Amino acid sequence: MPRRFLKRIMPDHDTMREHPHLRKFGQRLTEPRLWHLNRRSVAGGLALGLFVGFMPILGQMFIAAALAIVFRVNLPIASMAVWITNPLTMAPIYFYAYKLGAWVLEIPVEHYAFSPTWEWFTHEFLKIWQPLLLGCTIFGVLSALLAVLFVRIGWRLIVIRSWISRPHKNQTRQD
């Protein structure tokens, strides 16, 4: 069952409730739907986390946790899914998001040399923010939709397989 696997890899409720950044939410973290492991909650948490993870914003985990509380989906899954963009994957994801956004907006793709300075953000970033944000939004929506489909279908197939492999009481009796 996917539930057993997820329970094994997820942090426990107390650890998440005592996290310094999540403590700000107080009693809202005691909502059972935030911790429940069913296909709807996991699919919603994964979709929300992936969508936020593709957005080029700071504090993705905090935003995903806040939205998980608002939409009442699985909080740990949503918080972990934002790590789709990590220091290793961030550059290629945002580069291809920019290319996709430029293609959709029919803007020629230009090559920019990134430097983390205030001048770069005030001059160069203003040229690329629209295609970048559009591409990130498209990637976020598509990955969220695919995550919901994958989790719901996969979960359903695993449950069906476990039901089929169960020994049936009526078949095992040889009276």
Nearest to 51 by CA among 72, 78, 71, 70: 78
Averaged pLDDT, 55-72 = 91
pLDDT at site 110: 77
Residue 175 pLDDT grade (very low, low, confident, very high; cuts 50, 70, 90)? very low
Element (H, E) at 24: none
One DSSP character per residue, 120-138 reads HHHHTHHHHHHHHHHHHHH
pLDDT at site 32: 67
In this structure, are residues 63 and 49 in contact, taking their beta carbons and an 8 Å threshold?
A: no
pTM for this predicted structure? 0.77
Averaged pLDDT, 139-143 = 96
Tens-digit pLDDT profile for residues 24-52: 766 666 676 777 788 889 999 999 999 99
Element (H, E) at 81: helix 75-81
Q: State the distance between the two ends of the chain, measured CA to CA, in whole angstroms.
A: 32
pLDDT at site 63: 94
Encoding tokens for residue 50?
């992936």
Nearest to 43 by CA among 72, 74, 66, 15: 74
